Amino acid sequence: MHNKTLAELAAGLRAGEFSSEELTRHLLARIGRLDPRLNSVITLTEERALAQARAADARLATGEVGPLTGIPFLHKDIFCTDGVRTSCGSRMLDNFEAPYDATVTEKLAAAGAVMLGKTNMDEFAMGSSNETSFYGPVKNPWDLERVPGGSSGGSAAAVAARLAPAATGTDTGGSIRQPAALCGITGIKPTYGRVSRWGMIAFASSLDQGGPMTRTAEDAALMLAAMAGFDERDSTSIDRPVDDYAAALGRPLQGLRIGLPKEYFGEGLDAAVGAAIEAAIDEYRKLGAEVQDISLPNTALAVPAYYVVAPAECSSNLSRFDGVRFGHRCENPRDLEDLYVRSRGEGFGAEVKRRIMVGTYALSAGYYDAYYLKAQQVRQLIRKDFIDAFEQVDLILGPTSPTPAFRLGEKADDPVTMYLSDIYTIAVNLAGLPGLSIPAGFVDGLPVGLQLIGSYFDEARLLNAAHQYQQVTDWHGRVPEGFE
């Protein structure tokens, strides 16, 4: 059962080939047996999952079901889940049980999906390798000595290893797409405001966006349809109807205009990764797409702009975790200052502290205009680059990551080199656009990800282009050795 896609499992459940409870027990046992090798799951919610599965089976018996009824999934541990530990991969929230459900949690439950547990992640979603988690690093199922990417590395590794057919993720600067690329799965970051952020613990509020991580574009379409939609509790949520993503998958790509940014194919791109992307471009030509070169001239400014904006927003968002209102509290504080200093010092890891310090500095008197304001101005230039490009093309194509998965610890002592892992994904968040990563080959046994970028609210076209590519390739069907 674990080798079936979400769509295949849904068909099997409706046909009565197996029950949701049987499927759920199978996957729970698989997690228990295989996840110690990966460390992808922080909390297993076995009793809750089985109760949800039985409820789904009752609905299946009536025939009144949706695409996700009875489908097990894993939830990134950044979405609040009533009565379940929601840790954000941090000691700061190690003992926090959310008193309510995030909107995404509510929506998936209403769709009949079965939550198996919560996945490991970079602490407060800050990282590109899933090595900053308080619970230890996640390992890539394709090579256990390599990273799965981050911050949604637990979700990516679990889906790649067939521990669940789908998982949720969040993407602030590439944290769905980059781990999807490094683990050989499909991941989509929707347009900013398409998926509610209510109950999703904030890192950088103007950049964060939730989305699905699955094996195929078809599965991602089914998940995104359940997750997306307006939420009046989220002031950044967009009041706009949700497209029928699944209905658009079968459209032919004849005449689709795809742009190739010259900035994505130059220095810094691994030659073998570049060759895999060129092969994928050839497949799109065979499918009828028209490919042309374009330019996104401010691409080089995306990383420095992001690493001012994101830390500035995180320094504000994480100020609430002080040992008084929320979070870890130190033992026997001498006074209030000692309580604050030691609680935050003990609760946060090194990368989170680094970003809080950078952000506080950028927002401080005398430096706000020079750094934060300037970064926001650059952000608008990057956004305009994309708007201009979409007057010429329908989609933009390039690599998701400049290299395959790197070794655990390889970049841990060099934050700047680590930050450059997201060089092709960050601009999408700064502009608020939708982006998607799909498997497009292998280099030395490690997956390569291809990124597609769309205009605002053009998720249906992205998923259609990804699905058509997956109809003529089998990269998305490969399984890591030992997890068959």
Which residues are the active-site residues? 76, 151, 175
Coil/strand/helix, residue 395: strand
Joined tokens for residue 288: 């009828």
Q: How far is CA 263 from CA 269, 275, 297, 302, 477, in A?
A: 10, 16, 7, 12, 30
* DSSP 8-class letter at 263: G
Distance CA 27, CA 219 (A): 18
For 118, counting Cβ atoms within 10 Å of its Cβ (0-12 exposed, 13-18 middle, 19+ buried), the class is buried
Distance CA 198, CA 220 (A): 21
- At 426, the amino acid letter reads I
Label residue 70 left, alpha or beta by phi (over 0 means left) and psi (-120 to 50 means alpha). left
Residues 6+ apart with CB under 8 A from 61: none
User: Cβ distance 437 to 449 under 8 Å?
Assistant: yes
Joined tokens for residue 215: 């094996």
What number of other Cβ atoms are within 10 A of residue 482's Cβ?
11
What number of other Cβ atoms are within 10 A of residue 331's Cβ?
7
Strand pairing report for 395-399 and 446-454: antiparallel
* DSSP 8-class letter at 420: G
Cis peptide before 235 (omega within 30 of 0): no
Q: Closest Cα to residue 272, out of 135, 132, 446?
A: 446
* Start-end of H helices in 195-238: 217-227
Distance CA 249, CA 221 (A): 8
Coil/strand/helix, residue 290: strand
Q: Closest Cα to residue 71, out of 51, 59, 53?
A: 53
Q: Closest Cα to residue 431, out of 189, 178, 188, 192?
A: 192
End-to-end distance of the chain based on CA atoms, in angstroms?
11
- At 26, the amino acid letter reads H
